[in-house]
Structure 1
Amino acid sequence: MRTSLSRTATTTALLAALVLLSGCSSIGPGRMLQDRTDYISSYTESWKRQILLNIVKVRYAEPIFFMDVGDIVAGYSMETGGNAGFSRTIYDNPAPVTEDINPVFGNFGKLEFGLSTRYTDRPTITYKPMTGAPFRLGVMSALPVRNIMVGLDTGISAKFLFNLGVRSINGLRNSTLTASGSVPAQEEFKRTVEVLSLLQLENAVRVRVEHAPNARESRLYLTLGGKRPSPEAAALISELRDILDLDPAVYEYEIIIDPEVENRRQIAIQAFSLMQILASVAARVDIPAADIDSRRALPSIKDSPGSDILAPVAVHSGGAKPADAYAAIAFHGHWFWVDDRDILTKRVFSFLMLAFTLMEEKNVTLPPQLTIPVQ
């Protein structure tokens, strides 16, 4: 009976060793499932905080600065090893098998097991300051009108795009920030944006891109209603033509970025820069009164670009870190944050993050790359 138990124990021990050695699988697939979402979340959160920090710095009259992420290299290695062995000496008892002597190991047998594991996590992240030409083209230059119009065509509200990102349409001016204050938007500009948003609801406004083979840049056309618009759309189109002084004989108009049109079949659109959009959001930061009174920060401006889509206070401030915030940063001894329930300001932040991406057509830098070597 004891012999049978000994053999069973020995067999079980050997099988356990084999299972341990063969059960070590690759860590790559599991890490990929976690890393992609974790890095996306961290990258997005860092951009939100960076944008919020620079918005607050505008009110404190401090220079803004952006740090881009270059490469993300997440390197992991996992090494496993195991061994199993049995030995008997030449002095083992040669006596016949009895209940007192192990039939496999003998009295001088030895069974050994070993298992080792080593895990290494060595991520490397590089940062690139946005200076020189990338800063001038990405932050100081006007947003590409092409990207604004493509956003309009994909269904982004005209109110959102034009009130926040467009400076003028056919000479009609949006509200503008100046060194001495703000200039309110012209009523014709406001009505133009309102009509465009209504035409979106009627599915009566589209953007067409014409790729000329010999031209350096493609041409953009704004199509209003088509050949057979509905009565409601036709009335809106007629009103828009009157406001912008467009040719009523056609329903498609070329979009240009020059300040003035050459004929009545063109629509001139000029856009704000990202710096100007940041300033318009900065005008709605709740700066502590003590910092304004001591002239450490600029006073607020009630009327500025985005008045129709942004609340008077878009960024809150306080002495303690908020418990539930879309983005929060500490600056000058205060906490500044965007309320997670403020959907309008959250949309503006998403637009700003998207705008940085859209500006890359002028900036030759490549997007961040995530490389995960697994050894």
Structure 2
Amino acid sequence: MNIVKLRYADAPVYLEVSSVISSTAIQSQVNLSASWFSGSPAEGNNQTLGASGLYTDRPTISYTPLSGERFSRYLLTPLSPAAIFSLVQAGYPVDRVLHLTTRAANGLYNRSTSPSRLRAADPEFYAVLDALRRIQRSEKLGMRISQRAGTDSELLLIADTRSEIVETDRRLVRQSLHLRPDAEILKLTFGSVQRDDTEVALLTRSMSEIFSEIAATIEAPPIHVQEGRANPEPALPKVSNEWDTPLVRIHSSERKPDNAYAAVHYRDHWFWIDDRDLKSKSEFLFILVLLSLAETGVAPETPVITIPAN
């Protein structure tokens, strides 16, 4: 819903679960009654036995608005470069990870559809993504990430250069990112420009920026755009590369969709992701992983409420 709101320049509201309370109650009742007559006839004598039970479970979920320092850390703080490469190390596709989370790498800029940062991608950026993915698929490159002093991290690359194809891609990546050809240990830091030829500087996006990128390409109803209710579509050149397609393709319609993976109703229209669009579904799932990754630090303790169940 918040992503759709951004398309209309409406204020999003972010909530978090502050507490979950389950109230359980068990009730039981047994009834016994009898009546006898001393005289005749005895047909009026009777005995009645009855029992009843009741079980109720009333869960209560409390939501609180995300604000203050937690809002800043969760949505406005750029993702950590070390955390992004940890996802790559865990097996996530390096090209998709960097395409979604990175604005620039060593001065090479990614495409942006956000109204505040509208720009086309540097051609070398897409070439680096493709080369890194080929290297990852070949399983000829290993990496290890360790924390250094301050906010920088250390990236140790272990390469198998026996494959000529992998070596060609490795040279392309190092030349494009202006890295020293023989450097095995690289410094990983946040920024748009590297300080030397052994540093990988990533200008990463925050979750708020990622939401804005997705919102900009929502297929809003044409009448809403014409009337100025929704932001116009990005004034970028038409798709010339598969990387220029929307990160998540969100459709709109007046009728409730039949094949929706996820759908919300807003401004008398349905906005939805097609269940047959595997790319958009996987990107949407990956965003949920990033939301968990963005939550850093120690969460404040919530009240503990004990409710007896008799």
TM-score range, shorter chain: 0.7 to 0.9
SS of residue matched to 2:295: helix
Residue of structure 2 in register with 1:68 after alignment? 16
Question: Does structure 1 residue 118 correspond to structure 2 residue 66?
Answer: no
Q: Distance in 1 between matches of 2:70 and 2:172?
A: 41
SS of residue matched to 2:62: strand
Letter in 2 for 1:116: S
Deviations 1:286-344 (A, max 9, x none): 1111111111111112649x961744881111111223311211212211111111122
Larger Rg: 1
Question: Does structure 1 residue 238 correspond to structure 2 residue 179?
Answer: no
Residue of structure 2 in register with 1:59 after alignment? 7
Residue of structure 2 in register with 1:174 after alignment? 110
Q: Distance in 1 between matches of 2:203 and 2:228?
A: 34
Question: Does structure 1 residue 159 correspond to structure 2 residue 95?
Answer: yes
% same residue: 26
Q: Distance in 2 between matches of 1:312 and 1:67?
A: 24
- 1:239 Cα deviation from its structure 2 partner: 1.9
Residue of structure 2 in register with 1:247 after alignment? 180
TM-score, normalised via structure 1 length: 0.71
Unaligned runs of 5+ in 1: 1-52, 94-105
Contact 2:19 2:62 in 1 (8 A): yes
Decide whether aligned partners of structure 1 residues 118 and 57 sit closer, same or farther in structure 2, where only a CA change above 3 A counts.
same
Deviations 1:87-138 (A, max 9, x none): 999x799xxxxxxxxxxxx999865422121222221111010122222222
Deviations 1:4-59 (A, max 9, x none): xxxxxxxxxxxxxxxxxxxxxxxxxxxxxxxxxxxxxxxxxxxxxxxxx1111112
Residue of structure 2 in register with 1:262 after alignment? 195
Q: Distance in 2 between matches of 1:370 and 1:240?
A: 55
Q: Distance in 2 between matches of 1:323 and 1:300?
A: 26
Q: Distance in 1 between matches of 2:298 and 2:120?
A: 32
Residue of structure 1 in register with 2:273 after alignment? 338
Letter in 2 for 1:360: E
SS of residue matched to 2:243: coil
Residue of structure 2 in register with 1:288 after alignment? 221
TM-score, normalised via structure 2 length: 0.85
Decide whether aligned partners of structure 1 residues 291 and 87 sit closer, same or farther in structure 2, where only a CA change above 3 A counts.
closer
Residue of structure 1 in register with 2:284 after alignment? 349
Greater fraction of residues in helix: 1
Question: Does structure 1 residue 147 correspond to structure 2 residue 83?
Answer: yes
Moved more, 228-237 or 77-86: 77-86
Question: Does structure 1 residue 219 correspond to structure 2 residue 153?
Answer: yes
SS of residue matched to 1:159: helix
SS of residue matched to 1:327: strand
- 1:170 Cα deviation from its structure 2 partner: 0.8
Letter in 2 for 1:236: D
Decide whether aligned partners of structure 1 residues 250 and 370 sit closer, same or farther in structure 2, where only a CA change above 3 A counts.
farther
Q: Distance in 1 between matches of 2:247 and 2:113?
A: 15
Q: Distance in 1 between matches of 2:289 and 2:116?
A: 30
Letter in 2 for 1:57: K
SS of residue matched to 1:286: coil
Contact 1:224 1:252 in 2 (8 A): no
Letter in 1 for 2:8: Y
